[in-house]
A and B are shown apart, each in its own frame.
Chain A
């Protein structure tokens, strides 16, 4: 079995983010590392974050730091990754991609303890760069430029210190003195040698300054001072005339200013009033804002509160450090302050946000200062504050993020054309169920009712130079309605359009005249109000029309074509005639070539299943240039021109080409390349779009021509980063559409569907899915689908939080404590209402997080959710410190009176530190009441560990309780243990069953295949895996095969060899399975790993499903970083050969950006086996043209054939 791996939805979580001017000039961009991809983002004028460029780097990015050489206008980007190499990238604006400027190898690949890459720091003047490992090693590179102003990099200088753990590093701003790097270090050499543990208890963190002597070309430890053991982060303070230089040390509860030869200045971080005493406050992310005259820091705590830190200084003496409460927003992994007045908050989990500054924290908020730091006997006096709604910031945009995907199912619960993906995402109060539908999201601007069922709609401008459309013309069965587009859309009667007949086409002709084609003739409305009418000869009627700005062609019933041409006077003249063999089905003009007035080709589709290309050359007389036969009569034709591109906005190189698209009556979209000179057709592709014949319309998307195809659902064909993408829109069936442009929406689409007129815009191009989110209460753990009622049963649990009632009580208490004094209207607060004028919005947990409880306290709930109405029909909060961990539906045989029951495995008082302990585990059995909308507890059974896996098996319940597999039957008061097997190595985390086989996933020992023997009431393990896999996800593929994913980011398939499987099945007496013994306590048979692939991200869920109607199954997986991918099995040997060769060439010609070898990355833990990396293959269009041609030659194909292949295989998946 060979598989093709493809990322369907790029990772959305952010590991690190940084700001710089990568494009050059004044603009600022945010560079974001999402694990294994690197994105360049920029907020546009309207405050929406757009992705300029996104590239998969096939490696794990661990740190990013931008730097600028003095006097330069542009920032470089240094990337620390798992490649054992330092990579310096430069963004190329012309080609819209990152170029590798330098790649310096310093160590082994992989994320290792002593191989640098985890930390990066750069001298603020861009003269040197330090790359550090978690332990021991630090390397300093000197950056310079050569005579041609190109960046040069020195050989590394070592600043190693053994037995030292590094926590954070930063470059100290010291003007143009020798570059200095600061580091928080911990020396553990003594602790390592002292068996009593005393030295370990006394270990002390130090702040160390490393100086790079540019003259001697040597790095030395210049200064080392003990600091708080809670120190975790360093922030560089501006220096060299702009400020006092030095660093801010962020420690538990304190911010400390430190510098050489300067006394420490310490201030306490204000605490939330409701924070338990034993909890400290740590800073997790920091951003610095510098202006000419001032600078400040924004620091965010682990609870989401942001503080503004300012320093009072004179010269380089700091007199006071002030920490002022700024605002609160969800915890970030990185914050970036933009000069344009934006704050980009890359959330740790959940959606990212872009805020706009409304103020810079000059209000009267709680402030703590080093000046009034009070030390008492119990330590420093804390400062308290109460979080409030956003005051200094305003949210202006959100970027959706699935991170982390906890669980996923692909199901068609809504009975739509394609299945939906249901994912559990997020963490804590920001968690949600997200329903993903393949397709682009649309933004509906208006829906208005029409007097009847409309058949067509057009929009026309009054003048070709107008920016916006003037009229919208709607055609009905026997009438035409004309609407004018302005501030509002209203009916007009002075337009001179004929309104008593249906229309066939309405268009702008020439510069400023309008044309209406109706079955009996052509009405040409001149700008000055004159109307010319051309009537059809005899009893013939017009059936089809094609037109562009200067040319019109009509098809009369019977197959006669009449071609009109506009003369210099703006008069429409009959130019030519042609008789087609039969009735004409559709007509289309080719686009007008640049610098010409007339189109050269006319495409004619006929009911005899052909498409003809006619020449419009005046000398040729509508001669047929080429004929293409198709599988079914064409319904609609559209030429789509792709302009030549060499990178640029497109991000890809391709020559100009002309495509003829045809929507066939059998629902297929047929695409072929038209030679722009000869009109010959070649390179045909077809794709099934839906059950109705696709109607094709041209529209504008991001300033480029795109194609709208209306079949049983709408599709959009457009070019995105070099790929032609044909993506469905998440919208209902439309009848007819036209592009729409007004001052409210520049690139809209107007469409008719039955008797409604709809105006919408298309959003988030390039994305594969659009999301609908339903918020949840706690971190979702797992869910099951209740197939009968199409509901979801979700279990949610969180650690260290209060239950809903406790939270409510706390809130009330808190309100009373400070609310009564303020305004005294506590009654309003009870209803969750506003709290006076102080806080104009209620405190949402999404924004502020849950109040923190003791770390061993659990909260959990079971929810029945109707995804269609988005309504929670039942929510059971578990009591007594219990938390749910597993769920399944079960039908007990012989106990039919209960029907389907819900089993939930819970743990009580689970702690992980210092040792994993649990008070008790339970299995709850719930009955569905109220037509499956609600749950009722039947009984709960105590077990000795947390049941992490539950599954129905032969009318009974299988439960994995710690390392024990048990079979339970339903009793009256509790579950009855009927059979068990204690031979599993560690902890059972997944159970799948098929016929009499049971597939057990162990947390660290991969799969075990079991059999239940009814006649002996015994469970036997007959096969297991040879590789210790730390299982995170499992899915049953077939009788002998399981797919699994481990926590190191690998996906693998384990299969029982056929002969072994046969032997086990043909064992009537069962003696063999009973008596056979494996070696070293293992099972007698071993499964084989037939597929092996390193995804590079922890896979949290796997499922076999098909995302397209009638498509083959693929394995869909979701990852912690919020990406979705698919593995598709190849069906032919040729495809395998082709793609493996393409992959091989791509590996050679296009090595990954961050320096990791592609093959080594995909084989990071186990050698990659039988999987072809589609993400690498899909980078083919981004190669330079000559490289594309070279690879294509090696494969005996043309580049366009390769693109077609890539498109085809993608279309098989989605």
Chain B
């Protein structure tokens, strides 16, 4: 990993991190984005062609890949749309269930009841749409900020900063720094 020689602790830290990753992936079965096969390999369930990956490292690397991210976003979107559709259907079905009754029965009989129902319905449907809107805006906001964060992080890496096992930034011992250079620990991302 490091070209500077074997005594750097960066490698050990990285291995430890990988082990933790491994454990995490084995424990968090709840996440349905992949499946561990009997051969010990992993299959990604998100990507449409379900690629088989040899190790958890490769899986995590794959999970960071643009194709996977795209597939995940698409899946999320699909889920959301499905949910919305479902909600709408439920509402509509409840409406249609009631409506024949109302049409068949007298409208004027129970105007108050009818009014309340429609209000509730409206309320419910706006709530759904509002929710959906909220989720979408949240998503885009986070993606922009993450891109910025990524850029900033890259800048620090290129300037010679590294992260230790706690996610803290430290200076690479082989890289030189100017006296007044920005410290990523001080100005958080």
If A976-B178, A978-B160, A980-B174 touch, whether A1014 touches B154 (CB-CB below 8 Å) is yes
| Residue pair A977, B174 in contact (C-beta under 8 Å) | yes
Sorted nearest first, the 9 A-B pairs with minimum C-beta distance are A976-B176, A971-B178, A977-B176, A1069-B61, A1017-B157, A1014-B158, A978-B160, A1068-B65, A1014-B154
- Cβ-based interface call for A1071 (8 A): yes
| Residue pair B175, A978 in contact (C-beta under 8 Å) | yes
Contacts of B180 in A (CB 8 A): 972
- Cβ-based interface call for B64 (8 A): yes
B3 in complex: contacting residue of A976, A978, A981, A1071, CB < 8 Å:
A981
How far, in whole Å, are A969 and B160 apart by their CA atoms in the complex?
A: 11
- Cβ-based interface call for A983 (8 A): yes
| Residue pair B158, A1017 in contact (C-beta under 8 Å) | yes
- Cβ-based interface call for B177 (8 A): yes
How far, in whole Å, are A1017 and B153 apart by their CA atoms in the complex?
A: 11
> Can you show 8 pairs from A to B with CB atoms below 8 A apart?
A972-B178, A972-B180, A976-B175, A1017-B158, A1017-B172, A1068-B65, A1069-B62, A1071-B58
Contacts of A1074 in B (CB 8 A): 1
- Cβ-based interface call for B66 (8 A): yes
How far, in whole Å, are A969 and B157 apart by their CA atoms in the complex?
A: 13
If A1015-B154, A1016-B157 touch, whether A1068 touches B178 (CB-CB below 8 Å) is no
| Residue pair A1069, B64 in contact (C-beta under 8 Å) | yes
Q: How far is the CB of B174 from chain A (nearest CB, A)?
A: 7
How far, in whole Å, are A842 and B58 apart by their CA atoms in the complex?
A: 77
Contacts of B175 in A (CB 8 A): 976-979, 1017
Contacts of B64 in A (CB 8 A): 1069
Q: How far is the CB of B166 from chain A (nearest CB, A)?
A: 19
Within 8 A of B (CB), among A1070-1084: 1071, 1074
Within 8 A of B (CB), among A985-1018: 1014-1018
A1015 in complex: contacting residue of B1, B3, B157, CB < 8 Å:
B157
How far, in whole Å, are A1016 and B159 apart by their CA atoms in the complex?
A: 10
Contacts of B179 in A (CB 8 A): 972
| Residue pair A978, B61 in contact (C-beta under 8 Å) | no
Residue ranges of B at the interface with A (Cβ–Cβ < 8 Å): 1, 3, 58, 61-62, 64-67, 154, 157-160, 172, 174-180
Number of A-B contacts (CB under 8 A): 47
How far, in whole Å, are A1074 and B57 apart by their CA atoms in the complex?
A: 14
Contacts of B157 in A (CB 8 A): 1014-1017
Contacts of B174 in A (CB 8 A): 977, 980
Known: A1017-B172, A1071-B61. 20 other contacts (CB 8 A): A969-B159, A972-B178, A972-B179, A976-B175, A976-B178, A977-B174, A978-B158, A979-B160, A979-B175, A980-B3, A980-B174, A982-B3, A983-B3, A1015-B154, A1017-B157, A1017-B158, A1017-B160, A1069-B62, A1069-B65, A1074-B1
Type the 1/0 row for A1039-1079, where 1 means its CB is closer than 8 Å to any CB of B: 00000000000000000000000000000110100100000
| Residue pair A1018, B3 in contact (C-beta under 8 Å) | yes
Closest to A1070 in B: B61
Type the 1/0 row for A57-92, where 1 means its CB is closer than 8 Å to any CB of B: 000000000000000000000000000000000000
| Residue pair A978, B154 in contact (C-beta under 8 Å) | no
How far, in whole Å, are A981 and B58 apart by their CA atoms in the complex?
A: 26
Closest to B66 in A: A1068
Contacts of A983 in B (CB 8 A): 3
Contacts of B65 in A (CB 8 A): 1068-1069
How far, in whole Å, are A313 and B24 apart by their CA atoms in the complex?
A: 105
How far, in whole Å, are A977 and B1 apart by their CA atoms in the complex?
A: 19
Q: How far is the CB of A975 from chain B (nearest CB, A)?
A: 8
How far, in whole Å, are A1169 and B189 apart by their CA atoms in the complex?
A: 56
- Specify which of B61, B154, B174, B175 lies most central, judged by the most chain A CB atoms within 10 Å of its CB: B175
How far, in whole Å, are A1016 and B3 apart by their CA atoms in the complex?
A: 12
| Residue pair A978, B159 in contact (C-beta under 8 Å) | yes
- Specify which of B58, B157, B158, B178 lies most central, judged by the most chain A CB atoms within 10 Å of its CB: B158
Closest to A1069 in B: B61
Q: How far is the CB of B71 from chain A (nearest CB, A)?
A: 14
Q: How far is the CB of B54 from chain A (nearest CB, A)?
A: 11
Contacts of B154 in A (CB 8 A): 1014-1015
Closest to A1012 in B: B158
Contacts of A972 in B (CB 8 A): 178-180
How far, in whole Å, are A982 and B174 apart by their CA atoms in the complex?
A: 12
How far, in whole Å, are A1016 and B180 apart by their CA atoms in the complex?
A: 23
Contacts of A978 in B (CB 8 A): 158-160, 175-176
- Specify which of A971, A978, A1017, A1018 lies most central, judged by the most chain B CB atoms within 10 Å of its CB: A1017
How far, in whole Å, are A1071 and B53 apart by their CA atoms in the complex?
A: 13
Contacts of A1018 in B (CB 8 A): 3
How far, in whole Å, are A982 and B178 apart by their CA atoms in the complex?
A: 23
How far, in whole Å, are A983 and B67 apart by their CA atoms in the complex?
A: 33
Q: How far is the CB of B14 from chain A (nearest CB, A)?
A: 11
How far, in whole Å, are A1016 and B67 apart by their CA atoms in the complex?
A: 21
Q: How far is the CB of A1000 from chain B (nearest CB, A)?
A: 15
Contacts of A1068 in B (CB 8 A): 65-67
Type the 1/0 row for A937-976, where 1 means its CB is closer than 8 Å to any CB of B: 0000000000000000000000000000000010110001
